[in-house]
Amino acid sequence: MPLATGQLIQNPPPDQTILSSRQYRLWEDMLENRTGVRIKVQREEYVRTEIAKRMAECGWADADSYFREVLETLNGPREWSILLDRLLVKDTRFFRHQPSHDYVRDRIATRAAADPAQTFNIWSAGCASGEESYSLALDASEGFTMAGQADNYYIVGTDVSGDAIATARKGIYSSSRIDNLSLPLKQKYFSVVNEQRQQIIKPVRQRVAFLILNLLEQQEQYHHQMDLIFCQNVLIYFKQWRRRDIVNIFEACLKPGGCLIIGPGELTDWESENMTRIDRSGIQAYEKVMV
């Protein structure tokens, strides 16, 4: 139990020695078992500090008891989701890997020209606070415009972090986060909220849904028949065997002819008889063979 009222630690300085090596390993393993994410050595100090801070906030002095609270009690899932929001790396930005986005736009333009009545469905897996999913929406809108067609696409962005998904749903970003976008893109797809913030316009937001989803727990039936799955800077935190498992699930979620795009170099030892590597320089993408 936390300390009784009156015994609460009043803002103690975060002390990374609060966790012994054994206790730190328990947290490290829990994070990996539950999310697949392996903490890099360089982040150990940060993770220790965040756990110590959270313990202090809740009044826990004993690290073993706090661990048991998260692992075994009814309050555990709530506490875990708060910790998770703090421990995961959620760095992201608009059009993070431009060559991949150029390919998405061109691919959608080609499909829209050939078959404008067919909705193009995209899954942005591990989307953090939404910048990746909205970048894909802009790719799609531009693709349909290039083809001379009205928008006909939907995107689902998923992430294990509840905080990230809540931010993504709002679609509001500080102006500095969209500095790298061209003026025409900004003018076409963002509305000014105030001097510091801009929001993705409603017609685009209405095409993008966000869900909390743990890639280790996903059920294929929720995300099947996708035309395109985009997953970048997520697999790199996982062990190789887990990367292969997740990519196998992505394959099952694609339509025949659908496309998977991951970050270049994020998976080196995977192949499948149902997927062919797309020959475009600078990107790592696969197409599911037609049956």
Which residues are at the interface with ligand SAM (CB under 6 A)?
A: 35-37, 88-92, 96, 126-128, 132, 159-161, 164, 214-216, 232-234
Select 29 or 271, whichever has its Cβ closest to ligand SAM.
29
Select 18 or 204, whichever has its Cβ closest to ligand SAM.
204
DSSP 8-state assignment for residue 181: S
With beta carbons less than 8 A apart as the criterion, state whether 135 and 93 touch.
Answer: no
Smallest distance from ligand SAM to CB 122, Å: 13
What is the spatial distance between Cα 234 and Cα 122, in angstroms, rounded to a whole number?
Answer: 17
Smallest distance from ligand SAM to CB 127, Å: 6
Select 144 or 233, whichever has its Cβ closest to ligand SAM.
233
- In angstroms, the Cα distances linking 78 to 75, 208, 210, 261 are 6, 26, 20, 33
Smallest distance from ligand SAM to CB 160, Å: 4
Select 63 or 160, whichever has its Cβ closest to ligand SAM.
160
Select 159 or 227, whichever has its Cβ closest to ligand SAM.
159
Smallest distance from ligand SAM to CB 90, Å: 4
The packing angle between helices 21-35 and 76-87, to 10°, is 90
Smallest distance from ligand SAM to CB 96, Å: 5
What is the spatial distance between Cα 129 and Cα 277, in angstroms, rounded to a whole number?
Answer: 29
Smallest distance from ligand SAM to CB 179, Å: 16
- Long-range contacts for 285-290 (Cβ within 8 Å, ≥24 apart)? 285/100, 285/103, 285/259, 285/260, 285/261, 286/251, 286/259, 286/260, 287/257, 287/258, 287/259, 288/251, 288/254, 288/255, 288/256, 288/257, 288/258, 288/259, 288/260, 289/256, 290/256, 290/257
What is the spatial distance between Cα 231 and Cα 233, in angstroms, rounded to a whole number?
Answer: 7
Smallest distance from ligand SAM to CB 137, Å: 14
Select the residue whose beta carbon is closest to ligand SAM and give its number: 92
Select 144 or 263, whichever has its Cβ closest to ligand SAM.
263
Select 63 or 233, whichever has its Cβ closest to ligand SAM.
233
Residues 6+ apart with CB under 8 A from 91: 128, 233
